[in-house]
Structure 1
Amino acid sequence: MKSAILLLLLAVSLICLSQAKKPTAKESAGSRVRVAAGTLEGRTSQGIRVFLGVPFAAPPVGARRWQPPQPVQPWAGVRPATAFAARPMQLPLFGDMNFRSPAGSEDCLYLNVWTPATAAQERRPVLVYFYGGGFQAGDASEPRYDGEAMARRGIVAVTVNYRLGVFGFLAHPELTRESGRNASGNYGLLDQQAALRWVQQNISAFGGDPQQVTIAGESAGSMSVSGQMASPGSKGLFQRAIGESGSLLGSSLGLTPLAAAEQAGATFAAGVGATSLDALRALPAEQLLAAAGKPGAPRFGPILDGYFLPQAPPAIFAAGQQARVPLLLGWNSEEMNAGWLLGGQPLTPENYQQAVQKRFGDRAAAVLKLYPATTPAEAEQSATDLAGDLFIGYSTWKWAAAHQQTGGQPVYRYLYAQPRPAMVPAMGDATPGLAGGVLKADPSKPKPPAPRGAVHSAEIEYALGNLATNKVYAWTATDYLVSDLLQRYFANFIKTGNPNGAGLAPWPAAGGARPQQLRINASTRAEPAAQEARYQLLDELLNK
């Protein structure tokens, strides 16, 4: 009898163990998706299906280094999609970047999908987000870009890797000759374009609607969105666009012409001892990365290549040849600090006036009229405003104004003005960083004044619902309220092309000589844009 009972218990245990190891047919079907190249198996997080490290192009290695992205090779069986793939090759430039990817690699062309849909027939709107980092750093795995919160608002969220720096933007005469289209460089932007084509082909398998795609990004990601709007190769791949602080319009960005970029690439190749393109491609990726990071090396970024960008973006927009889609964009109230403008000099009215004189010459008086400095406090505010405008505010305004004139679609402008809260005590020796969080303070340099406004990239975690992933700041109930509000505006726009909705302050489309903008903070409201005269003056001065 005892033996029979033991055998029965053993049998029951084996059955339970078997059931614990094997998902039910329903669970397995829910975590598996068939895309054009094969079957993916993701995971589920509290009702949101997540697919990480999904290839959208072939690895750009070997002979494919500095080639446009090539199609994914199909795979047999089921490919796991439960972990982030490698991030693009990059140097540790920004101390605030927090990666969940395992390492850097040239084999980096992967994307991530968060979907609330349980069936392909649901046809949810889609958000495709491009990270910032000056085209030199960044990764789709960063927690601030996580797509789960947007997925909980009914949106299929996608984050995309693209090649950076020397791997993403090197131009070279031999590359131009072999291309068959008399162009080279801009491979990182072509990666984004390939990801958008992948979305068109495959997103319906995740319950997304390929006819309701919004592209979005911050800083270099925002510049990328403006570039995709200008590029003929992206026409029809998206229906709405969101830009957060940055565009490829505006001469302060200085898009390099192809010939100059080729010369810079040839000089770089000679500097690493590569006498041919084959020799350059044969060099280890780590050697190229190190050489590109040395003082005096070219800063590889978007160029006027004649292919991805057949003309300068301002000319494309002026001719109305950009993607004619609804556009939501804006910038922050303190995009750059006053010290950036003063070159490390103490902030006084006299030093500020001298910096303006040095930069603008005989037009300095006109600048000082709109950015005045009659008192120390006024000088600090004007220096902060002018630094932020020159850094990124003006170029974003230029994009808004150009699309408003020729795009034939509504433009919704914001000014984000919610300062971050205090840092948690453990981060007291850190200072705000350009890429979105903090950098450890350099004791050899004077500490910049504490920001009073919203610094560059401060809005990302608010807009995408990821405040809790940033442990640097002591978030308050007000921060979470602002985050909820901004997510709702973004989600409405992604779903309909209009950010307005029930329970939200009205957000009028920009229009007329004094456009309306939405000031986003603890008391969000629409207001006339007070900065127009400043940007019109900069437009005149920077485009002489």
Structure 2
Amino acid sequence: MSLFPSTRLQQFLLTATLAALVSSAGIAQAQSGSSLEVETKLGKVAGKQEGDVRTFLGIPFAAPPVGPLRWREPMPAASWKGVRQATSFGPHCMQAPFFEDMIFRDPGPSEDCLTLNVWTPAKNKAAKLPVMVWIYGGGYQGGSTSEARQDGKVLAENGVIVVTMNYRLGIFGFFTHPALTAESPNKASGNYGLLDQTAALRWVKENIAAFGGDPSNVTLFGESAGSFAVSSHMASPVDKGLFQKAIGESGGAFSKSTLGMRSRIDAEVKDAEFASKVYHADTLEQLRAIPAQELLDRATKPAASKELVRFSPVIDGYLLPESVPAIFAAGKQNDLPLLAGWNHDEGGVLSKSTVESFQASVNKQFGDDAPKVLAAYTAASDAEAIRAASDLTADSFIAYSTWKWLEAQATTGKQPIYRFRFDEVVPADPFHTAGDSAYHSGEIAYVFGSQHLLTDFKWTPEDQALSKQMQQYWSNFAKTGDPNGAGLPTWPKYNAATGWQVMHLGAQPVAEKDDHRNRDLVLDSIWGK
């Protein structure tokens, strides 16, 4: 029996038809044979020329996840006739304004948001260039491909094709419910945002050759939640063969605190209780009838957030048949070349007043294990105490989980591993204190070379030089699985034989042996249990 009465289904189909007609207004007939036209599996798209790079924006890679498709696995997008104009970003996915430094260049929020963008320097489809597919961060609660700092044009100039995709966030992307699991062909629910990313990877596999890309040479990379996602896809059997290399910037799905995964069964109970209490809705029909903005507002308002289960990925039994650490420990991950690391000041630089309570906070957090933690984070002066407290904050937040990902791959994987730490103090901007740290997300603009679009920053020649080097390291890795190349400081592999060397990315990049390994091992003896 249908979950929707016939009148509601008819209304949905009518709405979908009208949306398609509106969308078709953006599909114009154009002269055939244009170098800015590309034939995808669903129809032709027409991009725009930006210097030596052809840019295609707002291409749908899945059907709009609205109406009866809300909280379903992404469905195939509809084909179109004529030439679809792909010169502007699609809407960003529904989200509350959690992150003030995220400034989007798109039409605004929409539940119909599953589009992707392609930047290609290829002149034709015979180029077979390596492909880099980016997943943005934002705690699985925010983000958009239209952010200027992750614009793909400059990175693409390094001889790679850059693809970025939107994916469902928050309650739209990670809500679970027993009824959702029951209706799913995979008997799973809760990982719709991750499945959107998988759908985008499948689109790349099927279509990127037409843009001059090599579908058998794809690198998946991301930052923060995007990095957590990359590690999850590396663990997932569903993603096998969809990408051949992985880059993680600040985060791995090995944490029990930051973005820690729940089991689907536990999540179903808590999310269903949340829906009943906050929305007074107990059926999928009732929940899917709630307007998107109302669904978002009621999920994120202060009264609800006190009891809000953070909506993020779960161990669903399908995309992730087990936890990510368990999959890696068993050697069941997709064994790929891995480049990963984090920033020097992931948790910021703490003040002296905060440090004064450092020992008390460690005692509270670690209990009987506090003495060995304090011994690992030694501090003989006020300056060292500030550094030690800042380091432990960063490790607790995101550095340890990234380290654990590297260690897990080093233990059961056979492919090369490269580790970095971004040390460059990022220039001042309206959202960050002037020149005080290499803060979380600070490396993104350097990887993408997007400084020219971020005019509020006071970039220096040293920043520009480091950015060019990082673009080369990242694109070299995408091409060959090795970041090294002519004119670059040598980046050794990360393994016992090299002394677990780390590439420190600053004004003068240099590789050094990991001098904090003992600290990570101490934390692992506590958190890794």
Above 0.5 in TM-score?
yes
Matched, 1:293 2:304: no
After superposition, the C-alpha distances for 1:293-316 in whole angstroms (9 at most, x for unaligned) are 122222100111111110010111
SS in 1 for 2:404: helix
After superposition, the C-alpha distances for 1:27-49 in whole angstroms (9 at most, x for unaligned) are x5201111001111111111311
Match of 1:526 among 471, 491, 511: 511
TM-score by length of 1: 0.88
Whole-angstrom distance in 1 between the partners of 2:410 and 2:440: 24
Match of 2:244 among 239, 262, 277: 239
- Equivalent pair of 1:250/1:314 in contact (CA under 8 Å): no
Relative to structure 1, is the Cα distance of residues 266 and 390 closer, same or farther in structure 2, using a 3 angstrom cutoff? same
- Equivalent pair of 1:334/1:452 in contact (CA under 8 Å): no
Aligned ranges for residues 277-288 of structure 1 at < 5 Å?
A: 277-288=284-295
For this pair of structures, how many residues does the alignment match?
494
Whole-angstrom distance in 2 between the partners of 1:299 and 1:292: 10
Please state how far the C-alpha of 1:472 moved relative to its aligned partner: 2.8
Matched, 1:473 2:479: no
Please state how far the C-alpha of 1:338 moved relative to its aligned partner: 5.3
Aligned ranges for residues 453-468 of structure 1 at < 5 Å?
A: 453-468=437-452
Unaligned runs of 5+ in 1: 1-21, 433-449
Aligned to 1:308: 319
Please state how far the C-alpha of 1:525 moved relative to its aligned partner: 0.8
**Which amino acid in structure 2 is aligned with residue 455 of structure 1?**
Y
**Which amino acid in structure 1 is aligned with residue 162 of structure 2?**
A
Matched, 1:411 2:408: no
Aligned to 2:485: 501
- Equivalent pair of 1:338/1:347 in contact (CA under 8 Å): no
Unaligned runs of 5+ in 2: 1-28
Relative to structure 1, is the Cα distance of residues 23 and 281 closer, same or farther in structure 2, using a 3 angstrom cutoff? closer
Whole-angstrom distance in 2 between the partners of 1:183 and 1:335: 34
Matched, 1:540 2:525: yes
- Equivalent pair of 1:130/1:217 in contact (CA under 8 Å): yes
Aligned ranges for residues 442-457 of structure 1 at < 5 Å?
A: 452-457=436-441
Aligned to 1:11: none
Matched, 1:515 2:500: yes
- Equivalent pair of 1:334/1:451 in contact (CA under 8 Å): no
Please state how far the C-alpha of 1:249 moved relative to its aligned partner: 1.4
SS in 1 for 2:219: strand
SS in 1 for 2:44: strand
Aligned ranges for residues 77-226 of structure 1 at < 5 Å?
A: 77-226=82-231
After superposition, the C-alpha distances for 1:352-374 in whole angstroms (9 at most, x for unaligned) are 11011110111111011111244
Q: Which has the larger radius of gyration?
A: 1
SS in 1 for 2:470: helix
Match of 1:60 among 61, 65, 79: 65
Whole-angstrom distance in 1 between the partners of 2:119 and 2:436: 35
Whole-angstrom distance in 1 between the partners of 2:355 and 2:426: 26
Please state how far the C-alpha of 1:431 moved relative to its aligned partner: 3.3
Please state how far the C-alpha of 1:379 moved relative to its aligned partner: 1.4
Please state how far the C-alpha of 1:478 moved relative to its aligned partner: 0.6
**Which amino acid in structure 1 is aligned with residue 354 of structure 2?**
L
Matched, 1:363 2:373: no
Please state how far the C-alpha of 1:181 moved relative to its aligned partner: 2.7
- Equivalent pair of 2:30/2:83 in contact (CA under 8 Å): no
Whole-angstrom distance in 1 between the partners of 2:283 and 2:191: 20
Aligned to 1:273: 280
**Which amino acid in structure 2 is aligned with residue 487 of structure 1?**
Q
Please state how far the C-alpha of 1:381 moved relative to its aligned partner: 0.6
Whole-angstrom distance in 1 between the partners of 2:368 and 2:411: 31
Of the structure 1 ranges 178-187 and 90-99, higher mean CA displacement relative to structure 2 is found in 178-187
Whole-angstrom distance in 1 between the partners of 2:391 and 2:455: 28
**Which amino acid in structure 2 is aligned with residue 251 of structure 1?**
K
Task: Name the Cα RMSD after superposition.
Answer: 1.6
Please list every run of at least 4 consecutive aligned residues from structure 1 whose deviation after the TM superposition is greater than 6 angstroms: 22-25
**Which amino acid in structure 2 is aligned with residue 282 of structure 1?**
A
SS in 2 for 1:413: strand
- Equivalent pair of 2:355/2:389 in contact (CA under 8 Å): no
SS in 2 for 1:70: coil
**Which amino acid in structure 1 is aligned with residue 264 of structure 2?**
L
Whole-angstrom distance in 1 between the partners of 2:143 and 2:373: 35
- Equivalent pair of 2:253/2:401 in contact (CA under 8 Å): yes
SS in 1 for 2:109: coil
Please state how far the C-alpha of 1:539 moved relative to its aligned partner: 1.0
Whole-angstrom distance in 2 between the partners of 1:41 and 1:503: 37
Match of 1:39 among 30, 34, 44: 44
TM-score by length of 2: 0.91
Relative to structure 1, is the Cα distance of residues 64 and 422 closer, same or farther in structure 2, using a 3 angstrom cutoff? closer
- Equivalent pair of 1:233/1:308 in contact (CA under 8 Å): yes
Please state how far the C-alpha of 1:24 moved relative to its aligned partner: 7.6
Whole-angstrom distance in 2 between the partners of 1:543 and 1:398: 9
Aligned to 1:431: 432
Aligned to 2:348: 337
Please state how far the C-alpha of 1:23 moved relative to its aligned partner: 8.4
- Equivalent pair of 1:292/1:298 in contact (CA under 8 Å): no
Whole-angstrom distance in 1 between the partners of 2:195 and 2:109: 20
Aligned to 1:437: none
Whole-angstrom distance in 2 between the partners of 1:268 and 1:202: 40
Whole-angstrom distance in 2 between the partners of 1:468 and 1:150: 13
Matched, 1:325 2:326: no
Whole-angstrom distance in 1 between the partners of 2:124 and 2:435: 46
